[in-house]
Amino acid sequence: MKSELAAKVERTIRKFHMAEKGERLLVGLSGGADSAALLLCLDELGYDVSACHVNHCIRGEEADRDQHFCERLCEGLGIGIIVRRVDVPAYCRANPVSEEEGARLLRYNALQEISADKICTAHNLDDCLETTLFNLARGSGLKGIASIPPVRGNIIRPLIECSRADIEAYLAERGQDFVTDSTNLLDEYSRNKLRHKVVPVLREINPSLMETFAKTLGFLREDSAFLEKTADKAFEESIIGDGFSRKTIRGLDYPLRRRVIMRILAKNDIGISQDKIELIEQLVNNGGKASVKSECFAYTKSDILYIYNENNRPKSAEDEVVIRPDTVIIWQNRHICFKIIEIDGKFENVNKKFANSCLDYDKIRGVIVLRKRRAGDKIRLVGRSFNSDVRVLMKQAFPAHKRDGAVILADDEGVVLAEGSGAAERVKIDDNTRRVLVFDDRRE
């Protein structure tokens, strides 16, 4: 008989269109209660599941203990496991990030490098409540209050509607032990306070807290997604040439106006803050000119709002970044990771999400660079007999506010890849390909 938890997980997977039977699911397995239960559950439900344990090399002995636990667990279940070691302390010394953030980034990087259709992480309903409370404490909009998204790209969270109590009961029932999980979403300090001091008080007020919260969260998620979608549309409608119609923006209700202005800021790589939003709103209302960040100002010309960005001007080589394999490039607010995958034989095990993000590295002529789209860019996509206008491809592949951040790869002879549309015919992967260049946005 199917366990209660597995039944719940199956409902969640269906509800959020997380995965189909037959897809290859990769579970990020820390060995903690949540990921252990997730692995067991997905296995019980008959999914094609494998595991990846990322050893963060943070606490040596404990980390090795966790790794061995995961290996034994998978062995017992007959499930394949891949172990990856990442050096979080070294990464954090080299990059200005906290240990939590460094671990998260490297962990997701490691998971994304393994061939699978979907990556499954074990966030549960308690994590959502803690995140909601954390965002409420730290200040947030609806999106933050609505907490962790159930699906994000190829990352799915099948336990997102299960409480920690459900999960622990399931493991107890199966006699399955687990290790104490040391990787978490929030920093230790805030998480502990919320988990041990705040949540128990809320539970005293409402003993069915978790069931109720699951519903509340459902409503908030739907409301938030609807507002974001409506704002995407309003943003598109506000675009006039290189600028934005002040009249259109002024005519929007505040929730959309605010979100449209956030998109304008994001499109121009301007860090979003309430001050900046108000500044742009004032220009939209009253016209004028104002500096929005160094070498970047916003100004109006009759009905149109323009953002003039000194850094956005075509500057021959300066807005290009030469790609070196196995590096993460921070570009347009994204963490883009380039990898070389060596293959022998056919390149068939590529993760679906990379289908449009890879090319034959040995077919590159000269230097390969990452850059924004430029006027006049053309590409002959794989399998096509004609050149496509990259501007049109971008328009098909991305909402307007993401187009400027889309990856264009070019070599000495022109564009070889347009993100969202794929590689050029002349660098396509074929049976003779030995080295594949693949990239991915690694920001979680």
225-264 binders of its own copies (CB under 8 A): 226-227, 229, 253-256, 258
Which among 174, 397, 68 is positioned nearest to 405, based on CA atoms? 397
> Which one among 98, 180, 206, 327 touches its own copies, defined by CB under 8 A?
206
- Tell me whether residue 107 is exposed, middle or buried, using C-beta atoms within 10 angstroms of its C-beta: 0 to 12, 13 to 18, 19 or more: buried
For its own copies, the closer CB: 286 or 396: 286
Region binding its own copies by CB under 8 A among candidate stretches 99-107, 211-219, 303-311, 386-394: 211-219
Which among 228, 230, 202, 204 is positioned nearest to 216, based on CA atoms? 202
> Which one among 59, 75, 153, 219 touches its own copies, defined by CB under 8 A?
219
Cβ(58)–Cβ(182) under 8 Å?
A: yes
For its own copies, the closer CB: 190 or 332: 190
Cβ(439)–Cβ(339) under 8 Å?
A: yes
Find out whether 33 is annotated in a ligand binding site.
yes
Q: Label each residue of 229-281 as H, E or C.
A: HHHHHHHHHHEECCEEEHHHHHCCCHHHHHHHHHHHHHHCCCCCCHHHHHHHH
Give the residue carrying structure tokens 């394949």.
80
46-65 binders of its own copies (CB under 8 A): none
In angstroms, the CA 332 to CA 309 distance is 13
Q: Does 142 bind its own copies (CB under 8 A)?
A: yes
CA dihedral 247, 248, 253, 256 (to 10 degrees): -130
Q: Does 271 bind its own copies (CB under 8 A)?
A: no
CB of 139 to its own copies, least distance (A): 3
How many residues bind its own copies (CB under 8 A)? The answer is 40
Q: Does 115 bind its own copies (CB under 8 A)?
A: no
**What is the CA 96 to chain-centroid distance, rounded?**
20
293-312 binders of its own copies (CB under 8 A): none
172-191 binders of its own copies (CB under 8 A): 189-190
Q: Does 209 bind its own copies (CB under 8 A)?
A: yes
> Which one among 3, 115, 140, 312 touches its own copies, defined by CB under 8 A?
140
Helix H or strand E segment including 168 = helix 164-173
Q: Does 215 bind its own copies (CB under 8 A)?
A: yes
In angstroms, the CA 428 to CA 174 distance is 49
> Which one among 132, 147, 183, 421 touches its own copies, defined by CB under 8 A?
132
What does DSSP say about strands 327-331 and 334-342: parallel, antiparallel, or unpaired? Answer: antiparallel
Q: Does 285 bind its own copies (CB under 8 A)?
A: no
> Which one among 65, 84, 174, 193 touches its own copies, defined by CB under 8 A?
193
Cβ(98)–Cβ(92) under 8 Å?
A: yes
Q: Does 198 bind its own copies (CB under 8 A)?
A: yes
Please list, in sequence order, all residues whose beta carbon lies within 8 angstroms of the beta carbon of residue 390, skipping any fewer than 6 positions away: 373, 377, 378, 379, 408, 415, 418
For its own copies, the closer CB: 112 or 224: 224
> Which one among 5, 45, 194, 261 touches its own copies, defined by CB under 8 A?
194
Find out whether 316 is annotated in a ligand binding site.
no
* Interacting residue ranges for its own copies, rule: CB under 8 A: 132-134, 136-142, 145, 189-190, 193-194, 197-198, 201-202, 204-206, 209, 212-213, 215-216, 219-220, 222-223, 226-227, 229, 253-256, 258, 274
